[in-house]
A and B are shown apart, each in its own frame.
Chain A
C-alpha cells in the first residue's frame, strides 16, 4: 500500500535552512505528485506547494516563494522540501502528501496519503 515516511525532527536557528525528506513506498515517485502542507502549533493547515503533474514543475505558495524549494529523486523514490532563511514563525509540523487525482490545471488537489509529519522548530 502507499506509504510516505518522513525524516526526523529538526531544530534550527533563525536564518538557517532545513531540508525534510519524504520516502514513498508502494508506488513509484513518478506516478503521484508530492505536495507539502505545514501546521504551526495549535494552528490550521497551510499548503506550501508541490509538483504540478501537468508540466512536471513545482508550484509554490506565493507566501513562500523564494524561500522554498521542492525536489525529487526518482532513483530513491524520495521527495525533498527545503526551506531557507528560517524564522520563528516557520516552527511547524511539515507533512508530505499525495493522491491519485491531483491536477493543478483542474484545481483538484485531493490528498489521499500523508506522511507522519516532521517537526521543525526554529529557535535561537
Chain B
C-alpha cells in the first residue's frame, strides 16, 4: 500500500481546471517537501513540480502545486489532451525512505 494517498483517477474536459490531491502524515509531507511526477505509458516519469510548488524549466505554467500541513495538491489549468497521463506525488519520510503516492490517472474527456 502506498504511503501517500492519491485518488486513482481524475478527469476533465479541455480547458477545465483539475486538481489532484496527495495526503500523507507528519513524518513525510508534514515535515518535508513534495514533488510531483508526470508519467506517460511506456516512458520514464518526468519531474513536474519540486519543492512543493516549483516548476522545472520547460514545464508549462498551467501546472501548479501547493502544500498545506500533511497534504499537497497539483492543479492543471486549461486542461489539454496532452496532459492525459498518470501523476505521482512523492515526499521524503523521516523513517529514511522516499515515499510515493499510488498515482492518479488523469483523463481528458
- Which residues of A have CB within 8 Å of B47? 99, 110-112
**A121 CB to nearest B CB, Å:** 16
A101 to B49, CA, bound (A): 13
Across the interface, do A110 and B92 meet the contact criterion of CB distance under 8 Å?
no
| Number of B positions contacting A (CB below 8 A) | 26
Cβ of A69 < 8 Å from any Cβ of B? no
A47 to B35, CA, bound (A): 14
Cβ of A26 < 8 Å from any Cβ of B? no
Across the interface, do A59 and B50 meet the contact criterion of CB distance under 8 Å?
no
A62 to B95, CA, bound (A): 9
A62 to B88, CA, bound (A): 21
A104 to B92, CA, bound (A): 8
With known contacts A45-B90, A107-B33, A110-B51, A62–B97 Cβ distance under 8 A: yes
A61 to B33, CA, bound (A): 19
- Which residues of A have CB within 8 Å of B32? 107-108
Cβ of B102 < 8 Å from any Cβ of A? yes
- Which residues of A have CB within 8 Å of B99? 47
- Which residues of B have CB within 8 Å of A47? 90, 97-100
Q: Which B residues, 81 to 98, have Cβ-Cβ distances below 8 Å to chain A?
A: 88, 90, 92, 94-98
Cβ of A2 < 8 Å from any Cβ of B? no
The CB with the most chain B CB atoms within 10 A, among A62, A114, A115, is that of: A114
Cβ of B62 < 8 Å from any Cβ of A? no
Q: How large is the interface on A (under 10, 10 to 19, 20 to 34, 35 or more residues)?
A: 20 to 34
Q: List the interface of chain B (C-beta within 8 A of A).
A: 2, 31-33, 35, 37, 44-47, 50-51, 56, 88, 90, 92, 94-103
Q: List the interface of chain A (C-beta within 8 A of B).
A: 35, 37, 44-47, 59, 61-62, 95, 97, 99, 101, 104, 107-112, 114-117
28 A-B Cβ contacts within 8 A?
Answer: A35-B98, A44-B2, A44-B100, A44-B101, A46-B100, A47-B97, A47-B99, A59-B96, A62-B96, A62-B97, A101-B50, A104-B92, A104-B96, A107-B31, A107-B32, A107-B92, A108-B51, A109-B35, A109-B92, A109-B98, A110-B50, A110-B51, A111-B35, A111-B47, A112-B47, A112-B56, A114-B46, A115-B44
